[in-house]
């Protein structure tokens, strides 16, 4: 799940801005170039004007670098209803993006090519975020390249922290500390110290992340059994119950959508909530929150000694399992060129950053990156002179990012899991005597009925 309603507006601006940087991208055609047929999927639809313009510029520039290759494009993207038929019928592009959640199933069914040797030859694997590569790997082999990602963390209003006498440079790192800070914010400022998304499947989405931080899971590894009616999810709900009914630090509204929470947070009416870092873009651009007021930290843990765990989603580029070795190498070259060059070439990074800044788009919002921590830190340093995002406000996240464990969404029926849990979260926040065990057992039975189909 991606918070598209928060991020999409900024994405179009950024796409246009990046087009200007393409002229500076440099690469040399390989001496080994030969007549390779490469079909690139995920071409944006005609209605996506900015994204399509960028895509065409990228394809044209890449084609110029490899004049012997036969390169074509397709609008075919991930669709669980048509993927297998297109693969069987030979209509699947050579390279296509898929959600994180699909990788385990694709690998198990042999529907993604083993690109290990191509990655090694291109020298790409060591540049990537190893936690994310793990999501596309099995038994020492790699079947995809992560290219974009988000990870949930703790967004907090630095101004409210200051008003409450809390240090905005040292936000909570454990759930107990979050509770204490939330109570202080409410007592000192009169504003809810903590808020929780509860509807539109986002209540279950955020509860899943909170379950992960407590060592739990929503399903078994095969996605055949619902497992969230266990201690970690119960603990997460008991925690929310305490904030709401014992501490009175959550406010009385239990039906909270993304528009509600974003507007309240931007206006200084919410101290903390769980979201991904790139919410910064819409909060500051559309809702006019002062950039200096936005703070972001990793998801809290149960104990101070624990390393953070986060729920992540995003895109992984895979290669058609019927591709030849030459096609695999061409596909990896395309992925590297389009998605990774700005992390490995300073000139490309700066030109892209300058173009984005000129369009008024956020240049580099720190968060989970597809590349290694070292490469990402280097990239942030390269663009620091033109970055219009206050990177220091994300330091609490970046300081712990290298030790963060990345977990994907439930592998089967994720949206059904979230939908079943929305009313559970709502019940806990509206009824002080809500029976958490019974609510979770009922929700798990509902999800299990769909997993068993």
Residue 125's domain comprises 37-149+313-359
Q: HEC states along the chain? A: CCCHHHHHHHHHHHHHHHHCCHHHCCCCCCCCCCCCEEEECCCCCCCCHHHHHHHHHHHHHHHHHCCCCEEEECCCCCCCCCHHHHHHCCCCCCEEEEEHHHHHHHHHCCCCCCCHHHHHHHCCHHHECHHHHHCCEECCEECCEEEEEEEEEEEEEHHHHHHCCCCCCCCCCEHHHHHHHHHHHHHHHCCCCCCCCCCCCHHHHHHHHHHHCCCCCCECCCCCCECCCCHHHHHHHHHHHHHHHHCCCCCCCCCCCHHHHHHHHHCCCCCEEEEECCHHHHHHHCCCCCHHHEEEEECCECCCCCCCEEEEEEEEEEECCCCCHHHHHHHHHHHHHHHHHHHHCHHHHHHHHHHHHHCCCCCCCCCCCCECHHHHHHHHHHCCCCCCCCHHHHHHHHHHHCCCEEEECCCCCHHHHHHHHHHHHHHHHHCCCCCHHHHHHHHHHHHHHHHCC
Does 371 fall in a domain?
A: no
Q: What was the pLDDT predicted at 3?
A: 47
Whether residues 84 and 62 fall in one domain: yes
Q: What was the pLDDT predicted at 6?
A: 44
Whether residues 323 and 297 fall in one domain: no
Whether residues 160 and 43 fall in one domain: no
Whether residues 192 and 64 fall in one domain: no
Q: Are 202 and 288 in contact (CB under 8 A)?
A: no
Does 265 fall in a domain?
A: yes
Residue 105 gets the label, from left (phi > 0), alpha (psi -120 to 50) or beta, of: alpha
Q: Are 133 and 146 in contact (CB under 8 A)?
A: yes
CA-angle at 11, arms to 8 and 17, nearest 5°: 160
Tokens representing 90?
């030979």
Does 376 fall in a domain?
A: no
Cα 308 off chain centre by: 15
Whether residues 176 and 163 fall in one domain: yes
Tell me, what CATH number does 172's domain have? 3.40.190.10
CA-angle at 427, arms to 421 and 433, nearest 5°: 130
What's the rounded Cα separation, in Å, for the pair 288 and 281? 10
Tokens representing 382?
């390269």
Whether residues 155 and 201 fall in one domain: yes
Whether residues 82 and 212 fall in one domain: no
CA-angle at 426, arms to 421 and 432, nearest 5°: 125
Q: What was the pLDDT predicted at 453?
A: 56
Whether residues 308 and 326 fall in one domain: no
What's the rounded Cα separation, in Å, for the pair 188 and 176? 18
| pLDDT tens-place values along the chain, 453 residues long | 544 444 443 444 344 444 434 444 444 444 355 789 999 999 999 998 878 988 999 999 999 999 999 999 999 999 988 998 999 999 999 999 999 888 988 998 999 999 999 999 999 888 898 888 998 999 999 999 999 888 899 999 999 999 999 999 999 999 999 999 999 999 999 999 999 999 999 999 999 999 999 999 999 988 899 999 999 999 999 999 999 999 999 999 999 999 999 999 999 999 999 999 999 998 999 999 999 999 999 999 999 999 999 998 889 999 999 999 999 999 999 999 999 988 989 998 998 889 888 888 899 999 988 899 899 999 999 999 999 999 999 999 999 988 999 898 998 889 999 999 999 999 999 999 999 999 999 999 999 999 865
Whether residues 215 and 278 fall in one domain: yes
Q: What was the pLDDT predicted at 361?
A: 84
Whether residues 413 and 306 fall in one domain: yes
Alpha-carbon distance values, 17 to 20, 150, 278, 403, 450 (Å): 6, 21, 17, 32, 43
Q: Are 242 and 162 in contact (CB under 8 A)?
A: no
Four-CA torsion 330, 332, 338, 344, nearest 10 degrees? -120
Q: What was the pLDDT predicted at 131?
A: 84
Q: What was the pLDDT predicted at 195?
A: 98
Whether residues 118 and 240 fall in one domain: no
Q: Are 265 and 273 in contact (CB under 8 A)?
A: yes
Does 20 fall in a domain?
A: no
What's the rounded Cα separation, in Å, for the pair 244 and 166? 21
* CB burial readout 365-374, b (16+ within 10 A) else e: bbbbbbbbbe
Q: What was the pLDDT predicted at 432?
A: 97
First to last CA, the chain: 22
Whether residues 271 and 240 fall in one domain: yes
Neighbours of 123 (CB within 10 A): 10
Phi/psi of residue 152, nearest 5 degrees: -75, 145
Q: Are 96 and 303 in contact (CB under 8 A)?
A: no
CA-based Rg of the chain, rounded to a whole angstrom? 22
Number of domains in the chain: 2
Does 437 fall in a domain?
A: yes
Does 365 fall in a domain?
A: no
Does 126 fall in a domain?
A: yes
Does 226 fall in a domain?
A: yes
Alpha-carbon distance values, 59 to 175, 219, 234, 347 (Å): 47, 40, 49, 20
């Amino acid at each position: 799940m991606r918070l598209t309603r928060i991020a999409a507006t900024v994405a179009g601006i950024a796409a246009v801005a990046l087009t200007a940087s393409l002229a500076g991208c440099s690469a040399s055609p390989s001496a080994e170039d030969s007549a390779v047929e490469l079909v690139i999927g995920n071409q944006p639809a005609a209605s996506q004007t900015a994204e399509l313009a960028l895509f065409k510029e990228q394809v044209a520039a890449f084609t110029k670098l490899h004049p012997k290759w036969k390169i074509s494009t397709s609008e075919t993207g991930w669709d669980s209803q048509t993927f297998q038929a297109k693969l069987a019928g030979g209509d699947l592009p050579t390279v296509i993006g898929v959600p994180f959640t699909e990788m385990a199933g694709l690998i198990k069914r042999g529907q993604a090519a083993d690109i290990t040797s191509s990655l090694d030859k291109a020298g790409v694997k060591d540049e990537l975020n190893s936690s994310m590569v793990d999501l596309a790997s099995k038994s020492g082999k790699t079947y995809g390249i992560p290219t974009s990602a988000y990870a949930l963390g703790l967004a907090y209003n630095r101004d409210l922290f200051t008003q409450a006498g809390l240090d905005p440079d040292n936000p909570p790192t454990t759930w107990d500390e979050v509770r204490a800070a939330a109570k202080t914010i409410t007592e000192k400022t009169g504003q809810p110290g903590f808020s929780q998304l509860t509807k539109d499947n986002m209540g279950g989405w955020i509860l899943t992340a909170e379950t992960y931080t407590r060592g739990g899971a929503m399903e078994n590894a095969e996605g055949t059994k619902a497992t969230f009616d266990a201690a970690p999810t119960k603990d997460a709900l008991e925690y929310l119950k305490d904030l709401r009914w014992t501490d009175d630090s959550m406010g009385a509204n239990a039906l909270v959508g993304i528009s509600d929470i974003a507007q309240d947070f931007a206006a200084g009416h919410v101290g903390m909530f769980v979201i991904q870092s790139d919410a910064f873009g819409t909060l500051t651009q559309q809702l006019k929150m002062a950039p200096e007021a936005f703070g972001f930290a990793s998801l809290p843990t149960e104990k101070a000694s624990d390393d953070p765990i986060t729920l992540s989603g995003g895109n992984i580029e895979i290669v058609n399992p019927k591709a030849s070795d030459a096609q695999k190498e061409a596909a990896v070259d395309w992925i590297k060129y389009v998605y990774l060059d700005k992390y490995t070439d300073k000139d490309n990074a700066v030109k892209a950053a300058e173009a984005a800044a000129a369009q008024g788009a956020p240049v580099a919002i720190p968060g989970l990156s597809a590349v290694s921590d070292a490469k990402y830190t280097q990239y942030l340093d390269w663009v620091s002179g033109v970055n219009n995002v206050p990177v220091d406000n994300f330091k609490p996240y970046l300081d712990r990012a290298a030790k963060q464990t990345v977990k994907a969404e439930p592998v089967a029926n994720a949206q059904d899991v979230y939908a079943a849990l929305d009313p559970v979260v709502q019940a806990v926040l509206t009824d002080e005597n809500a029976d958490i065990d019974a609510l979770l057992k009922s929700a798990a039975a509902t999800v299990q009925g769909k997993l068993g189909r």
